[in-house]
């Protein structure tokens, strides 16, 4: 189905508190050199004790409205990608509806982890293109610091907090979505999880209840092997090549992983936008943060073609190709 939707605005928010690599040298057996060499992360933002995902997402939405002079009053659906909502229910999206004062809108949370924001964009495109909705607000937000085990030196150095928002509107004359690809490897879910009502998965006992647990080696192997294949399928099905892509925005898991993916795609890492250096791995928020950082640094220009690719917990992956043309 040919798209009839496009992204017309984007906004982000990161907390004020900063955790540097020097801070982690005091917590666990690590060093700034070791962290930068293996992850590319120099610092990450951490939510205050009384600051939660809904707070971060609200600020991102308000920044979007302010920076692009957009009214959100007629938004008819809110989609929030998060795995760290402060409540099991009510949802983050329903709390946002109340805070933003939106009178006629649906509210749904998505549990797509690191692929969640791109899944949200994909769903918004489908719903707007079909005519079921006219204006959808998609957000990705996390407070991973609240579920991070700060005694686990292999994972605690990675994660931070943040939120991003995008507005998707109906536009049959200047559509901005040009293809998608998604995939799932559910049997790999045991390599990246947080326990909930059960502490078993596939008959195996899970460790560290309530905290984020990651088998970095297995996730790395899956990502550097599977993501390039998914990206190639995406551009082929869109009748494009990687030469048509002005900017590649993968999930900012760590820089070494992204370099490996770009190498397998024969795509210059210089044309890749990331957010991990200053914000850490923020799961569903990494892609909108990287997108906005690119705008702030005057890298992304109107008319640019961009490939967004989320991958992680599930294990799930989702990619889309968009044209950034907010003034079309």
Q: Where are the domains of the chain?
A: 5-170, 178-273+298-324
**Which of 122, 133, 191, 251 is an active site residue?**
251
Same CATH topology for 5-170 and 178-273+298-324: the answer is yes
Please name the residues in contact with 33: beta carbons below 8 A apart, sequence gap of 6 or more: none
pLDDT in tens, the chain (328 residues): 799 999 999 999 999 999 999 999 999 999 999 999 999 999 999 999 999 999 999 999 999 999 999 999 999 999 999 999 999 999 999 999 999 999 999 999 999 999 999 999 999 999 999 999 999 999 999 999 999 999 998 899 999 999 999 999 999 999 999 999 999 998 998 888 888 888 888 888 888 888 988 888 998 899 999 999 999 999 999 999 999 999 999 999 999 999 999 999 999 999 999 999 999 999 999 999 999 999 999 999 999 999 999 999 999 999 999 999 998 7
Q: How far is CA 198 from CA 118, 180, 324, in A?
A: 28, 33, 42
Kindly state the tokens that stand for 50: 């009384």
Give the right CATH number for 5-170 from 3.40.47.10, 3.20.20.140, 3.90.1150.10, 3.90.79.10.
3.40.47.10
* Tokens 């008819």 belong to residue: 76
**Annotated catalytic residue, options 21, 63, 125, 281:** 281
Cα(177)–Cα(267) distance, integer angstroms: 21
Number of other CB atoms surrounding residue 16 within 10 Å: 9
Residue 76: φ, ψ to 5°? -110, 5
**Catalytic-residue membership of 262:** no
CA angle 141, 317, 168 (to 5 degrees): 55
Q: How far apart are alpha carbons 44 and 278 in whole angstroms?
A: 6
Q: Has 191 been annotated as catalytic? A: no
CATH class held by domain 178-273+298-324: alpha beta
The CA distances from residue 76 to 43, 141, 180, 205, 227, in Å, are 37, 20, 23, 42, 33
Cα gap 176→111, rounded to integer Å: 25
Beta strands 77-81; 106-110: pairing state: parallel
Q: State yes or no: is 114 an active-site residue.
A: yes
CA-atom Rg of the chain in angstroms: 19
Task: Check if the beta carbon of residue 136 is closer than 8 Å to that of residue 76.
Answer: yes
**CB distance 251 to 310 below 8 Å:** yes
What CA–CA distance (Å, rounded) separates 327 from 150?
44
Query: Is residue 118 within 8 Å of residue 79, measured between CB atoms?
Result: no
Q: What is the distance, to the nearest Å, from the Cα of residue 24 to the centroid of all Cα atoms in its chain?
A: 24
pTM: 0.96
Phi, psi for 193 (deg, rounded to 5): -160, 165
Residue 140, SS3 per DSSP: strand
Q: Which of 21, 63, 114, 156 is catalytic?
A: 114
Tokens for 191, please give them. Answer: 């390599």
Residue with tokens 């943040």: 162
> Which secondary-structure segment (H or E) carries 96?
helix 92-100
Please provide residue 309's backbone torsions phi and psi, each rounded to the nearest 5 degrees.
-140, 110
């Amino acid at each position: 189905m040919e798209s009839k939707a496009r992204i017309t605005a984007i906004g982000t928010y990161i907390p004020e508190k900063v955790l540097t690599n020097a801070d982690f040298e005091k917590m666990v057996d690590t060093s700034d050199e070791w962290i930068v060499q293996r992850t590319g992360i120099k610092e990450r933002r951490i939510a205050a004790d009384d600051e939660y995902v809904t707070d971060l997402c609200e600020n991102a939405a308000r920044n979007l409205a302010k920076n692009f002079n957009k009214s959100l009053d007629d938004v008819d659906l809110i989609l929030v990608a998060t795995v760290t909502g402060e409540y099991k229910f009510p949802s983050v999206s329903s709390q946002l509806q109340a805070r933003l004062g939106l009178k006629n809108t649906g509210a749904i949370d998505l549990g797509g982890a690191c692929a969640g924001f791109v899944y949200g964009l994909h769903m918004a495109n489908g719903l707007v293109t079909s005519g079921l909705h006219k204006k959808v607000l998609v957000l990705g937000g996390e407070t991973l610091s609240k579920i991070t085990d700060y005694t686990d030196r292999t994972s605690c150095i990675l994660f931070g907090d943040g939120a991003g928002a995008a507005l998707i509107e109906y536009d049959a004359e200047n559509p901005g979505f040009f293809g998608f690809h998604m995939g799932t490897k559910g049997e790999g879910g045991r390599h990246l999880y947080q326990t909930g009502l059960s502490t078993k998965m596939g008959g195996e006992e899970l460790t560290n209840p309530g905290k984020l647990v990651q088998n970095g080696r297995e996730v790395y192997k899956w990502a550097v092997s599977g993501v390039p294949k998914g990206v190639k399928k995406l551009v082929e099905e869109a009748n494009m090549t990687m030469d048509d892509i002005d900017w590649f925005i993968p999930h900012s898991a760590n820089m070494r992983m992204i370099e490996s993916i770009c190498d397998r795609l024969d795509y210059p890492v210089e044309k890749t936008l990331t957010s991990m250096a200053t914000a850490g791995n923020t799961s569903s928020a990494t892609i909108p943060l990287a997108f906005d950082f690119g705008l702030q640094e005057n890298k992304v220009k109107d008319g640019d073609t961009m490939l967004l690719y989320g991958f992680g917990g599930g294990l799930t992956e989702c990619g889309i190709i968009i044209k950034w043309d907010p003034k079309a």
